[in-house]
Chains A and B, each alone.
Chain A
């Protein structure tokens, strides 16, 4: 039996700012994880990652990150992604300065 596919989002860093970004269904790069496209199919995930890789003039280091469906869009499955969507814990820098990402 095939193993169940863990849902994914495509994430990267913005080329100029370095800020964490997520690929949306309508092919934008959002700073907000809740706007990301939650991918539930493995083949589709590979296609979307290739889409991202073609946008080298906008982003850097695209990869697939595990995520889970939440009430307000995708949520991180791992604490590393939770930090990426929030910012560092020693200062309210990064996304904490601009968007209201709650720390779990």
Chain B
């Protein structure tokens, strides 16, 4: 687990003291809101519809049990007893009071956490595969590189006032769980002739103009990676558009200039910046790696796991959906669903956070992860401990067996909280989950990802949902647009619009018609929704969604 150095601790303490003074000056009237707003945003404090919101970074989604307990404490002491885990591996508190925020930040600093650079035109919290360091399919643990990138970018003078915010994601596996193709820069660690390096993807992003990232380089050796990334960011910083905030993202720069031009410029700049990197970063990387050393995996019989698997159908169903292969065969990766049917996706109560922290401490080498799919992960669990973990999770409504299924929905806060929203997303997610649970269809439907955003900013990743839902305001009423065939993995794709949108009370029935169509069309239970969609195309879904249009055309 990464530990802050002395410098980081001092830096955080100073930042928090500064912000405390700024809050005081805002409250006593010596700072106007115009002066205060950029300062609070730099410290992760937003104003939403009903209250302030504090966004706390969880770098590369990794937490210790002590950190998770502290998040629970914040929820209980200064919020309404819960927190919301987001797709950016952050946690958001929806109800803090302005004069409590400095205390909240101090409490976070006690466990080495903060809310810096969760906002503003900076390089944001670097996200990593939530199975990092555990996945059976990974080349190397991406988190040391994520941490190196964090240290390189935090307070980097050139990167404080960029054209726009900048998001980096990193994975160590061919199977992409970090959505690297929808980030400004996506990195996939690969090994070539015994040398570790990264494939560099650039210019992905969702929002108003969704784009799938393009390959900038098929391989950059680690020794050169920081220099290469610095060159990339610097080219964009130089030629990226600042005239229009929607055109300022690197995806537009790549789109307007073409990937080949960008590559040539990056290569040119790379030669200039390379001499400044004299290997100090590689020494630092070695040091960081030490903090991410895998735990000493314990040995022992897995017989108790096997007998529970054979004898307990509820346990078996949970294992089949929520457990992923670990690189150590006697271990497993547990995904704890914080999406019980009908609950708000991504919300966990203080009590649930403590239970998960306790489980991590007792059974999982003290480690937890937050996934961009808004679930919590115990990355290293010996299989013989799975029955005990499952039993405990059941007591706290945390044992829902729905990972990767239709109720494992990503939903942004939408109009229930967000000041930018054009429609709600949470209740749509709640109703879809409840509806399919009532019909007991979820396991039959199989792998299906629904993602919902409450406005064009696409925080809910709707473009890359197998079924994407975008909430809009059409003449003063909520209206929902549907896209099909999006994909957030290594075969990333932006979904296709089905046609006109649906009213709030029509959206769940519309999703039902889509799912019915899939069940009719699929060749076998093995053919997933996405595979079926890719084979049969939009037509049958359109026919099911818009029967009137079909009738008129006939």
Contact = CB atoms under 8 A, between A and B. Distances in A.
B218 to A, nearest CB: 45
A25 B111 CA distance: 48
A88 B416 contact: yes
A19 B96 CA distance: 10
Given A79-B476, A84-B49, A94-B50, A15 B27 contact: yes
B99 A94 contact: no
B136 to A, nearest CB: 36
Given A83-B416, A90-B416, A18 B98 contact: yes
Interface stretch (A34-42, A43-51, A55-63): A55-63
B415 A17 contact: no
Contacts of A93: 50, 80, 94-95
B50 A90 contact: no
Given A15-B27, A18-B52, A94-B50, A56 B427 contact: no
Contacts of A20: 49-50
B171 to A, nearest CB: 32
B527 interface: no
Interface in B90-111: 94-99
B51 interface: yes
Contacts of A18: 47-48, 50-52, 95-98
Contact of A78 (B27, B47, B417, B476): B476
Interface string B183-222: 0000000000000000000000000000000000000000
B143 interface: no
Contact of B99 (A16, A56, A80, A95): A16
Contacts of A60: 33, 47
A72 interface: no
Contacts of B433: none
B426 A61 contact: no
Given A15-B27, A80-B415, A61 B47 contact: yes
Given A61-B33, A79-B478, A94 B51 contact: yes
A74 interface: no
A94 B51 CA distance: 8
B477 interface: yes
Nearest to B31: A56
A83 B425 CA distance: 13
Contacts of B478: 79
B110 to A, nearest CB: 24
Interface in B76-123: 80, 94-99
B98 A79 contact: no
Contact of A90 (B28, B47, B96, B427): B427
Contacts of B421: 80
Q: Chain B: interface residue count, which band?
A: 20 to 34
A91 B413 CA distance: 12
A7 interface: no
Contacts of B430: 90
Nearest to A86: B50
A16 B50 contact: no
B150 to A, nearest CB: 30
Q: Chain A: interface residue count, which band?
A: 20 to 34
Interface centre among B47, B96, B421 (most CB of A within 10 A): B47
A60 B421 CA distance: 19
A44 B360 CA distance: 60
A15 B476 CA distance: 28
Contacts of A87: 50
Nearest to B34: A56
B461 interface: no
Contacts of A56: 29, 32-33
A83 B478 CA distance: 12
Interface string B397-432: 000000000000000000111000100101100100
Contacts of B125: none
Contacts of A61: 33, 47
A13 interface: yes
Contact of B49 (A17, A78, A83, A91): A83
Given A16-B27, A56-B29, A90-B426, A83 B51 contact: no
B131 to A, nearest CB: 29
A57 B506 CA distance: 44
Nearest to B50: A94
A24 B48 CA distance: 22
Contact of A89 (B80, B427, B476): B427
Given A61-B33, A79-B476, A90-B416, A17 B51 contact: yes
Contacts of A90: 344, 416, 426-427, 430
A89 B426 contact: yes
Interface centre among B50, B95, B427 (most CB of A within 10 A): B50
Interface in B161-179: none
Nearest to B52: A18
Contacts of B50: 18-20, 84, 87-88, 93-95
A78 to B, nearest CB: 6
A91 B50 CA distance: 13
21 contacts: A15-B26, A15-B27, A15-B98, A16-B27, A16-B97, A16-B98, A18-B48, A18-B51, A18-B52, A18-B95, A18-B98, A19-B51, A20-B49, A57-B27, A61-B47, A79-B478, A83-B416, A87-B50, A89-B426, A89-B427, A94-B51
Given A13-B51, A20-B50, A77-B476, 12 more contacts: A17-B98, A18-B47, A56-B32, A61-B47, A79-B476, A83-B416, A88-B426, A89-B424, A90-B344, A91-B344, A93-B94, A94-B51
Interface of B: 26-29, 32-33, 47-52, 80, 94-99, 344, 415-417, 421, 424, 426-427, 430, 473, 476-478
